[in-house]
């Protein structure tokens, strides 16, 4: 199991194991998000494209796990992913037209708020799917 390190020193159903599980794949996301926040112009478009590529792969893995486990709410979870990807696409399009403000708002406000709510409300399902498969 790719998240086995999360359970090496914690009980599988403990809050710290859950936190580790949710954060395990987020290191790349944080790196890409930080990089995008620190650039402008063409480099911002490239950084947003890298961020989108990572999110698409990350979301696909989550959705596959939920579908394979017949987890309740899998469709809602996928719709939430599609929503943030649409926001990101809008930001990328704006940068392509020379408007940086929508991308800055996405990176500084929308994406962090979305992730906070998404983790709190939907990613717990993914954690429980992984926990159940670890048994």
- Interval 32-65: pLDDT, tens: 999 999 998 889 999 999 999 999 988 988 888 8
Cβ–Cβ under 8 Å, residues 67 and 125: no
Structural domain boundaries of the chain?
26-124
Cβ–Cβ < 8 Å for 77, 122: yes
What architecture does CATH give domain 26-124?
A: Up-down Bundle (1.20)
Q: What's the whole-model pTM score?
A: 0.76
The number of CA neighbours under 13 Å toward the Cβ of 64 is 6
**Per-residue pLDDT, 98:** 94
Phi–psi pair at 9, nearest 5 degrees: -125, 10
């Amino acid at each position: 199991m790719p998240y086995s390190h999360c359970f090496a020193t914690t009980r599988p159903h403990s809050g710290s194991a859950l936190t580790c599980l949710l954060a395990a794949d987020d290191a790349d996301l944080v790196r890409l998000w930080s990089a995008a926040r620190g650039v402008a112009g063409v480099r911002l478009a490239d950084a947003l494209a890298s961020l989108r590529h990572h999110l698409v792969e990350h979301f696909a893995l989550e959705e596959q796990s939920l579908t394979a486990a017949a987890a309740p709410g899998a469709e809602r979870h996928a719709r939430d992913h599609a929503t943030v990807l649409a926001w990101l696409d809008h930001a990328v399009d704006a940068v392509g037209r020379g408007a940086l403000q929508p991308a800055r708002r996405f990176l500084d406000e929308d994406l962090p708020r979305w992730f906070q709510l998404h983790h709190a409300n939907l990613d717990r399902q993914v954690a429980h799917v992984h926990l159940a498969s670890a048994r």
